[in-house]
Chains A and B, each alone.
Chain A
Amino acid sequence: MSTEQSSGPRTMYEKIWSRHRIIERADGQTLLYVDRHLIHDGSAPAFDTLRERGLAPRAPGHIFGVPDHYVPTDTRDVRAIADPEKRFMVESLTENAAGANITLFGLTDRRQGIVHIIGPEQGISQPGMVIVCGDSHTATHGALGALAFGIGMTEVAHALATRTLWQAKSRVMRIVVEGALAPAVTAKDVILAIIATIGTAGATGHVIEYAGPVIAGLTMEGRLTVCNMSIEAGARAGMVAPDEVTFAYLQGRPYAPQGRDWERALERWRGLVSDPGAVFDREVTIDGTTIAPMVTWGTSPQDAVPIDGRVPDPDREEDAERRQSMAQALAYMGLVPGTKMDEIPVDRVFIGSCTNGRIEDLRSAASIVKGRKVWPGVEAWVVPGSRVVKEQAEAEGLDRVFREAGFAWREAGCSLCLGTNGEVVAPGQRCASTSNRNFVGRQGRGARTHLMSPGMAAAAAVSGHLVDVRRVMAGA
């Protein structure tokens, strides 16, 4: 294990790592300093641990809380949460934050939203930081050039009490996406193509640095989408080098540095980029020009194919274990091998989540929906990722586009991505979803999830089946 920084060229990961290294244990584990700790309404057990041990959050000024997992998206009234255990999760976050002087963006606050949407949106997440949150999609914040880890509840308690986290140094995988994307191909298609290529455990034990012209050409929101799904490839963190796109995105946000601090921060941030000649433990190159709009057919995010493809045939798979798990996935999904992906009908459409609940996602979906109607019998929802996103969309008239087409226009939260708030897809129903996981039962028991981009989900909503968004755009 290479724990000492070398004098040679260093990766961005090594630079952030060494800047945050407090001490090392004999076994090579390093105590890392935490710049920002984000908490959500699943954090009650960590506060229980602190109370049991007579501890309080050590540095509440760097902790930010927001309810997202258990909040209803048809109202902003906590009392409307019928299940007392779910209501308790939201209420206990409010109490725990107030008791420890932690900044809380509560349910009626303008800044409320999904924790991974609001961190970047408020400028809380910044380049060069170590960011932790008790949620596996924390990798999202790495899009800003930060080292952001999803952690478990014991680690949340540890980070609250000490502002630190023990970590073994990861290997670093660089994924270079070459070339340029075809029209209507989005960040979501890029990350689904990456996961389909390297597999759901392809980056286990690694931190991913996404690079190359396609990544550099993405907007900040697109990069957030890519990094968000790093855990779906097994990586605990994903990151993108900060550049002018990053700085333009951050400048002027409420918690971003201002004035002279901004200038000093820029200087620091520009130095974070991996040095030329830095050595990566693994390099993967993907040709961006070959990426088509992607959809999943199975129950793992790696089960993704281009929309013009077909449901694969397990019998043509050589590996016996893989053959069996494909067959199980197809049985769960109610799909027959050889079926054309664009002939699969849908019952539900979900546009939202920490993967694709940002303003650009809603603009992209609205551009497809405009002037069209949700297919009869399809129930389609838009759940903005934050209230800021919702208000921006309303200012642009996107809510009217969705509503006039027959979409439900809802309040911000995690909602149908995992259904912790009780909003679920019914057993056997098929959902075109912009979220991040198509696991068995993820959107509700027996629910069948197909992952895709916002434009593709919108196209499915107005077509009644999975469809190539480019065909809808062409009016076919």
Chain B
Amino acid sequence: MRRFTELTSTAVPIERPNIDTDQIIPARYLQKPRDGTLGQYLFHDLRFRPDGMPDPLFVLNQAPYREGRILVAAQNFGCGSSRENAVWALQDYGFQAVIAPSFGDIFRNNSLKNGLLPVVLPAGVVGGLLHLLQEKPGEAVAIDLASETVRLPDGTVHRFEIDPFARHCLLNGIDELAFTLSQIGEIESFELRYGRENF
């Protein structure tokens, strides 16, 4: 899992609510191997016109946002399909964090398990940020995971919350599988009990 500590980067606004994972990466690319190049399919049908040319109206094709590593989205970002490819495509493209008022549950979970930081801020704050980024393209946002704070271009600092264990894993770049494997004794003794009760 990718480590996340702090990040200051151009923020990229996507204003539309309910961006589902089908839009983040269309189903026809799900069989593509996980070799670090899934970024080319990120937001594919929003980013490229049917003739394959980049759509200049889409935010990722606009110069001020090219180096953006932080995505700012509207409510319910990542709803729908459980495809983890959505997280991989965002990461392969270069995104390391997504700020939104709310996320689809499975997407949020998948993000935490890959080191893509999902930051939940109040709807009013995100709405203001989206507006500001439209007015002043290329402005930067700073995220500090250790203190669970975000500094916006207007200088305001906002606190967000991440489950402590997930935060620990993110800060250290470790995943929970190793931790679970260290608990195998607990699982085995549970199994003995469980088997007696249920079968």
**A residues adjacent to B (C-beta < 8 A):** 19-20, 22-23, 25-29, 31, 33, 42, 45, 48, 53, 55, 69-70, 83, 85-86, 88-89, 134-136, 150-155, 157-158, 161-164, 166, 168, 200-201, 204-205, 231-232, 234, 236, 261, 268, 300, 321, 324-325, 328, 418-420, 422, 424, 427, 437, 439-442, 444-446
5 new A-B contacts, CB < 8 A, other than A31-B183, A151-B106, are A19-B198, A33-B194, A85-B31, A201-B18, A234-B76
Cα distance, A70 to B28, chains bound together (Å): 10
Determine if B177 and A418 form an interchain contact, defined as CB atoms under 8 angstroms apart: no
Can you name 11 A-B pairs with beta carbons within 8 Å? A26-B164, A29-B163, A88-B31, A135-B82, A155-B109, A162-B184, A201-B76, A204-B105, A234-B105, A325-B16, A437-B22
Chain B stretch 3-33: residues in CB contact (< 8 A) with chain A: 15-18, 20, 22-23, 26-28, 30-33
Given the interface pairs A164-B180, A236-B106, A328-B16, the reply to whether A26 lies near B165 with Cβ below 8 Å is yes
**B residues adjacent to A (C-beta < 8 A):** 15-18, 20, 22-23, 26-28, 30-34, 45, 50, 74-76, 79-84, 87, 102, 104-106, 109-110, 113-114, 163-166, 175-177, 180-181, 183-184, 186-187, 190-191, 194, 197-199
Given the interface pairs A25-B165, A33-B194, A136-B80, the reply to whether A42 lies near B30 with Cβ below 8 Å is yes
> Smallest CB-CB separation from A22: which chain B residue?
B190
- The DSSP consensus for interface residues of chain A is loop
Please pick, from A300, A418, A444, the residue contacting B18 in the complex, using a CB distance under 8 A: A300
Can you list the 6 inter-chain pairs with the closest CB atoms, starting with the nearest? A152-B110, A153-B84, A136-B82, A154-B113, A152-B84, A201-B76
Given the interface pairs A162-B180, A234-B104, A300-B18, the reply to whether A201 lies near B79 with Cβ below 8 Å is yes
Determine if B186 and A201 form an interchain contact, defined as CB atoms under 8 angstroms apart: no
Residues of A within 8 A of B164 (CB): 26-27
The tally of CB-CB contacts under 8 A between chains A and B is 163
A196 to chain B, nearest CB (A): 14
Cα distance, A119 to B117, chains bound together (Å): 34
Given the interface pairs A150-B82, A420-B28, A439-B22, the reply to whether A445 lies near B45 with Cβ below 8 Å is yes
Residues of B within 8 A of A300 (CB): 18, 20
Determine if B163 and A161 form an interchain contact, defined as CB atoms under 8 angstroms apart: no
Cα distance, A83 to B30, chains bound together (Å): 13
Cα distance, A442 to B28, chains bound together (Å): 9
Determine if A23 and B109 form an interchain contact, defined as CB atoms under 8 angstroms apart: no
A37 to chain B, nearest CB (A): 14
B79 to chain A, nearest CB (A): 6
Determine if A86 and B163 form an interchain contact, defined as CB atoms under 8 angstroms apart: no
Given the interface pairs A200-B18, A321-B74, A419-B27, the reply to whether A157 lies near B177 with Cβ below 8 Å is yes
Determine if A441 and B22 form an interchain contact, defined as CB atoms under 8 angstroms apart: yes
> Smallest CB-CB separation from A156: which chain B residue?
B84
Residues of B within 8 A of A42 (CB): 30, 83
Cα distance, A324 to B17, chains bound together (Å): 10
A43 to chain B, nearest CB (A): 11
Cα distance, A23 to B104, chains bound together (Å): 26
Residues of B within 8 A of A439 (CB): 20, 22-23, 80
Determine if A23 and B183 form an interchain contact, defined as CB atoms under 8 angstroms apart: yes
> Smallest CB-CB separation from A232: which chain B residue?
B80
Determine if A204 and B194 form an interchain contact, defined as CB atoms under 8 angstroms apart: no
Cα distance, A70 to B31, chains bound together (Å): 9
Determine if A445 and B50 form an interchain contact, defined as CB atoms under 8 angstroms apart: yes
Cα distance, A291 to B187, chains bound together (Å): 46
Residues of A within 8 A of B191 (CB): 33
Given the interface pairs A150-B106, A321-B74, A325-B16, the reply to whether A441 lies near B181 with Cβ below 8 Å is no
Cα distance, A418 to B80, chains bound together (Å): 12
Determine if B76 and A152 form an interchain contact, defined as CB atoms under 8 angstroms apart: no
Determine if B82 and A201 form an interchain contact, defined as CB atoms under 8 angstroms apart: no
